[in-house]
Amino acid sequence: MSFEFLEPDRGAPELGFEPVPASVLLPQARAAGARIEVRDGWQVAVEYGSLEGEREACHATVGIGDASWLGKH
């Protein structure tokens, strides 16, 4: 059995299929209302609303910074 069909470089942009890697935190970010963008080929949460609202939420609970999209060596 081959899993080659799961390889991202096998995407077919001409058919509208371009897989984009995503952090394991993306589902939680979406559930929290994050706006998602693609940065350096990765789907990442970029904002959760107003800056003041994000500050208040971080003071009341916890804030995280997902660096999955940064280069890896």
> Over the stretch 10-24, which tens digit does the pLDDT of each residue have?
666 666 666 788 888
Distances (CA, A) of 12 to 2, 5, 9, 21, 47: 18, 11, 8, 15, 30
- Which residues are 71's β-sheet partners? none
pTM score, whole prediction = 0.63
Give the burial class of 38: count Cβ atoms within 10 A of its Cβ; 0-12 exposed, 13-18 middle, 19 or more buried: middle
73 pLDDT more than 60? no
- 38 pLDDT exceeds 90? no
Q: Which of 34, 55, 53 shows the shortest CA–CA distance to 43? A: 34
